[in-house]
Amino acid sequence: MTEAIQKTVQPIGVATAALETKRLSAWFGDLHVVKDISLTVEKNDVFSLIGPSGCGKSTFIRCLNRLHEETDGARVRGEVLIPGAGKRENIYAQGVDPVSIRRRVGMVFQKPNPFPGLSIFDNVAAGLKLAGVVRRNVLEEIVEISLVQAALWDEVKDKLKKPGTSLSGGQQQRLCIARALAVRPQVLLMDEPTSALDPISTARIEELVMKLRSDVTVLIVTHNMQQAARISNQTAFFLMGELVEVGPTKSIFTKPKDSRTEQYITGRFG
Amino acid sequence: MIELSSRDGVRKFSNYFWLAMLCLLAFTAIAPLFFIFAYLLVRGWAGLSFAFFTEIPKPVGEVGGGMANAITGSLVLMGLSTVFGVPLGLACGMALSELKKSAIAKMLRISIDLLTSVPSIVIGLFAYALVVVPMRGYSAWAGGFALSIVMVPIVARSTEEILKLVPASIHEAGLALGLPRWKVLIRLILPGVRAGVTTGILLALARVSGETAPLLFTAFSNSFGYRGLSAPTASLPVQIYTYATSHDETWRQLAWTGALVLVFVVFCLNLVTRILTRRTV
Amino acid sequence: MSNPVPAHQVLARRNLGDRIFFLALRAVSIGTIALFIGMLIFIGKLAWTSVEAQGFRFWVGDDWNPPMDIFGAAPFIVGTLASSLIAVLISAPISVGTALFLREIAPRKLANVVAFLVELLAAIPSVVYGLWGVFVLAPIMRDTIQPFLAKWLGPDTYFAAALGHGMTAVAYPFLLVADTLGLTEVTLVSLSANMMAVSQGLFDGPPLGLGLLTSGLVLSIMITPTVTALSREVLLTVPDTVREAALGLGATRWEMIKLALMKTARAGLVGSIILGLGRAIGETMAVTMVIGNRNEIPKSLFEPAQTMASVIANEYNEADGMHLSSLAFVGLSLFAVSLIINFLARTLIRYLNRGSRA
């Protein structure tokens, strides 16, 4: 099994990798929830992570922007490499500021979480303002671009001053995507972004993710296998904190190499 | 990608600066506790003696004496307020949790909320109008009544809170046994939350043991000791107030020692409630 | 049954014991509600002679002279507002800061200890604060703090001048509006002179130790536990997902606190500060002991003053007739003010809770 992974991971050119993990492990207290994961995500991939609930896939992506360590008793070991100024840097190297990493690796969460105190406009502009963008016209421009990218502009352009929480659940989630996109991240992490949404909103977000591909590398956690099959070109299957199999989505779903992957995608457990 | 590294330094600095400020503010919040406590210990300890608990105060100018009158008075007043306040508070708490969303429960909840916020001196005025005026004199009755009004909302709220935590399934289990609702509540539920209810009562007692304002013109004071429930009655807090504002050095010493004893009692009551809640939660 | 009946009524019909039990609960409820309303009525009755004789003039009259049967409560209203405002100004940043410290900085064990200590502060009786205020704080105020403040903020300092100009600038637009409406004839010069007089007088006078500033300081210590506990509860209603959203955007911890916590919870934080104000306004014993008890409108923060609560505590036992009734009138006004403030604050907090749940 390990060999299989090695084969799929190794030959890929380093130059185009948008993100690579090396022996990444994570714990909650004594609980080892992510075990020694090494994988590579290419630039402009839509990379889905599937697996039964509790398999560590959410924790895994929360390690990729150093959000996992914000939880009490959480620990991380290993390396995560992303392209930096001219070379790749390990986000867990000493002296790296998690705050600057999180601006380069954006995140969309399971439940839509717009800032309750802020308007639609200010929600999208929040990250920019933090980064020091103050000029109104620049803000307006980027907010509009981001909302267009998130396929929300037409619905909200006339009510940018309304509170972000006044939108519907699906709109709120797209608002959160726009908010994450506004700071132009290299990688966008999505933690089951449609699990709290209705089928129509889900379809819109899936459509959106496929379009985003040209601008940003997307890692998406989902426990909906159809979703993974529809929108991603690479898929990784997690089980009990371990990476079982990774490869092009098509081959994972049509001819999985590992019997556990096969059992999972044919619905025998999970 | 937005890179503004020169600003990052400022952000980092302001982050550490404000986080340090928050630590400082938290320290400022608790510093007075030590400041007050140190003085209480030093000044109060000096006057602590057997006589403090057994003797009544001597007239101005004479050395010695104690606060026995105030201590017994306080005990009487707290006993009286418990007798009135606890049953009423418990009943209100049960009414709040049992009558749930009826109009009467809503009004009761508002009344109790507002009762919590009534300044204690105003409660004193009420007890004066309701008890002192018809009885034509200050009395332990009036003081106990005033204190019980302070107790009711505290006991009621804590009883309601604790009853709310009891899962509906326990109610249903009792009802399924064919027990009437009142029996389920009194026999099954209340014994289970005894510790929680006791906590509320002790907190209320801790609160009224230090109340001064409602007693000033209800129980008033005396310097001889207990003379019956219809007579003016001394209490530790009122005595501390009177002696602290006097110009007699012996009396001032008594005030400090009285304050030390009072704070000790209040802290013990709080500590007990804390131990009780830890055991139940 | 055709029309729906609340569950407890259905049950009550079934069993005699239950019927009696619920009847008793209702009786107790009505009794308690009546007790609360009775409070207004009885204090109103005590105050009635004074209410009838003086009406609204009572609140604006600045002379309180029992021997002459002249009763104006303005000095107490001003004293109450001033001391409570000082308390809130000092306590609000400390309390909200402590609540944020407990939520965001302190490890759980430390947070428990600090929260416990703050609770203990709440348990200290008012009269003990007063005792400490008179014998410990007042001398420090007199000998150290007040001379220091007088030197830097007192008359003829840059602070006083700047404050005077600032207040003039704030008040000027209102003056202009009033002028155009023909309501007043105050000129900018006289406005400026008045404001300057106020700002110059703020830290003026002999440092007595007892007075407005000292009582404000004692009050601030007393309301800090209340405001801290309430703010802490309010901050807990902000969901973790919102905090993570801010961190995920690359906010530093402090930026996250501003963006996610304070913005989201601001209505509730304001509510808890207002509840603190309510407590300060009704606080009696400690204030009575340190405010200096002088029935005049104070011009300086160093001057002794009197609050609505403290004048009742001071004079009630020796009062009779119109004097007694007027003190009850003060009590009635205090009652009304604290009810309004608490109602306001609770509405704000409830509004916040509804918002965060939606």
How far is residue B58 CA from its own chain's centroid? 30
A70-99 average pLDDT score:
87
- Distance (Å, rounded) from C-alpha C192 to C-alpha B51? 63
In a domain, A40, yes or no: yes
Answer yes or no: is pLDDT of A54 > 90: no
Least CB–CB distance from C252: residue in B11, B149, B183: B11
DSSP codes joined into one string, C327-346: HHHHHHHHHHHHHHHHHHHH
In a domain, A30, yes or no: yes
For residue C107, the chain A residue with the least C-alpha distance is: A72
Tokens of A216: 């940003």
Q: List subunits contacting chain B, requiring 3 or more Cβ pairs under 8 Å.
A: A, C
Residue A270 lies in a domain: no
pLDDT value of residue C6:
56
Q: Who wins on pLDDT, B66 or C329?
A: C329
B150: nearest CA partner in chain C: C36
Say if the Cβ atoms of C241 and A111 lie within 8 Å. yes
Element of type H or E holding B140: helix B140-164
Q: Which of residues 83-122 of B touch C (CB under 8 A)?
A: 88, 91-92, 94-95, 98-100, 102, 104-105, 107-108, 111-115, 117-122
Statement: residue C345 has pLDDT above 80 = yes
Average confidence (pLDDT) over C164-178: 88
Let me know if residue B227 belongs to a domain.
yes
- Using CA coordinates, name the residue in chain C closest to A124: C249
Give the number of other CB atoms < 10 A from CB of residue C119: 15
Does residue C162 form part of some domain?
no
A208 found inside a domain:
yes
Contacts of A216 in chain B (CB under 8 A): none
Assess if residue B154 is contained within a domain: yes
Q: Is residue B244 included in any domain, yes or no?
A: yes
CATH number at residue C248: 1.10.3720.10
Residue B65: pLDDT band (50, 70, 90) is confident
CATH number at residue A18: 3.40.50.300
Which C positions 167-196 lie with beta carbon below 8 A of chain B?
none
**Residues B130, C38: contact at Cβ < 8 Å?**
yes
> Under an 8 A CB cutoff, do C125 and B263 touch?
yes
Q: Least CA distance to B1: which residue of chain A?
A: A184
How far, CA to CA in Å, does B198 sit from each of A83, A107, B76, B269, C190?
62, 48, 20, 11, 63
Does A126 contact B at CB distance below 8 Å? no
The predicted pLDDT at position C356 comes to: 47
User: Residue A98 pLDDT > 90, yes or no?
Assistant: no
pLDDT classification of C189: cutoffs 50, 70, 90: confident
Per-residue pLDDT reduced to its tens digit, B96-117: 988 877 899 999 999 998 898 8
Mean pLDDT for chain A? 88
* Displacement of CA C304 from its chain's centroid (Å): 19
Q: Which domain holds residue B150?
A: 52-56+65-280
**Per-residue model confidence (pLDDT) at position C10:** 52
Host H or E run for residue A188: strand A187-191
| Subunit contact A131:B7, Cβ cutoff 8 A | yes
Mean per-residue pLDDT, C41-68? 91
Examine residue C187 and state whether it is found in any structural domain, yes or no.
no
d(CA B271, CA A248): 63
| Record: contact A113-C255, CB cut-off 8 A | no
Q: Which residues, including other chains, have CB under 8 Å from residue B39's CB and lie 6 or more apart?
A: C132, C135, C136
Q: Would residue C106 count as lying in a domain? A: yes
pLDDT band at C183 (very low <50, low <70, confident <90, very high): confident
In a domain, A247, yes or no: yes
Is C179 domain-assigned?
no
Res. B134: pLDDT tops 60: yes
Determine whether the interchain pair A183/B7 forms a contact, defined as Cβ–Cβ distance below 8 Å. no
What's the domain count of chain A? Answer: 1
Rg (CA), chain B: 24
- Residues C131, C262, single domain; the answer is yes
User: What is the structure's pLDDT at C92?
Assistant: 97
- Tokens matching residue C234: 């309010």
Highest mean pLDDT among A74-83, B20-29, C159-168, C239-248: B20-29
Q: What is the mean pLDDT of chain B?
A: 89
Q: Is the dihedral of CA A66, A68, A70, A73 positive or negative?
A: negative
Q: Which domain holds residue A77?
A: 2-113+188-265
Do both C288 and C335 map to the same domain? yes
Q: What is the pLDDT of residue C295?
A: 93
Please state which of the ranges A116-125, A200-209, B232-241, C347-356 shows the lowest mean pLDDT.
Answer: C347-356
Domain that holds residue C281: 73-154+202-357
Q: How many domains does chain C have?
A: 2
Tell me if A70 and C247 make a contact (CB, 8 A cut-off): yes
- Residues C251 and C317 placed together within one structural domain of the fold: yes
What's B162's domain CATH number? 1.10.3720.10
Residue A7, pLDDT score: 40
State whether C25 and B94 contact (CB < 8 Å). yes
- Tell me the CA distances in angstroms from B16 to A133, C107, C263, one per residue in order: 21, 17, 20
A138 touches chain B (CB under 8 A): no
B198 vs C350, which has greater pLDDT? B198
Torsion of CA C203, C206, C209, C211, to 10 degrees: -60
- Decide if C343 is inside a domain: yes
What's the mean pLDDT in A24-31?
A: 92
Looking at residues B65-84, what average pLDDT do you find? 92
Give pLDDT tens digits for A180-207.
999 999 999 999 999 888 999 999 999 9
On whether both C23 and C148 belong to a single domain, the answer is: no
- For the segment C166-176, the average pLDDT, to the nearest whole number, is 89
Mean pLDDT of chain C: 89
* Residue C207 and residue C298 share a domain: yes
Name which of A78-92, B86-100, C305-319 the model is least confident about.
A78-92
Instruction: Give me the mean pLDDT over the A21-29 stretch.
Output: 92
Mean pLDDT of A212-232: 91
Q: Are C292 and C305 in contact (CB under 8 A)?
A: yes
C187: buried, middle or exposed (CB in 10 Å: 19+, 13-18, 0-12)?
A: exposed
Please state, in angstroms and rounded to a whole number, the distance separating the CA atoms of residues B118 and B120. Answer: 6
In a domain, C81, yes or no: yes
Phi first, then psi: what are they for C65, rounded to 5°?
A: -135, 85
Per-residue pLDDT band for B184 (boundaries 50, 70, 90) equals: confident
What is the rounded average pLDDT of the residues C208-219? 95
Q: Specify if A51 maps to a domain.
A: yes
3 state SS of C293: coil
Q: Beta strand pairing status for A46-50 and A217-221?
A: parallel
| Facing residue for A132 by CB, picked from B1, B4, B12 | B4
More reliable by pLDDT, C205 or A158: A158
Mean pLDDT of B18-29: 96
Say what the pLDDT of residue A70 is: 85
Same domain for C271 and C313, yes or no, is yes
Would you mind telling me the total number of residues written for chain B in this entry? 281
Both structure tokens of C107:
């490890």
- In this structure, the answer to whether residues C149 and C208 fall within a common structural domain is yes
In a domain, C284, yes or no: yes
The total number of structural domains in chain B stands at: 1
Residue C31 has pLDDT above 60, yes or no: yes
In a domain, A124, yes or no: no
pLDDT reading at C29 higher than 50: yes
Chain B nearest CA to A120, separation (Å): 21
pLDDT at A99: 87
Give contacts of A102 with chain B, Cβ < 8 Å: none
Pair C27, C106 in one domain: no
The predicted model gives B5-9 an average pLDDT of 68
Query: What angle, 0 to 180 degrees and rounded to 10, lies between the N-to-C axes of helices B194-209 and B140-164?
Result: 150
Q: What's the whole-model pTM score? A: 0.88
Taking the CA atoms of residue C82, residue C86, residue C89 and residue C93 in that order, the dihedral angle to the nearest 10 degrees is -150
Tens digit of each residue's pLDDT (9 = 90 or more) over A111-143: 999 998 889 999 999 999 888 888 999 999 999
- Residue C351, in any domain of the structure: yes
Between B273 and C98, the more confident residue is: C98
Query: What ipTM, to 2 d.p.?
Result: 0.92
pLDDT at residue A6 greater than cutoff 70: no
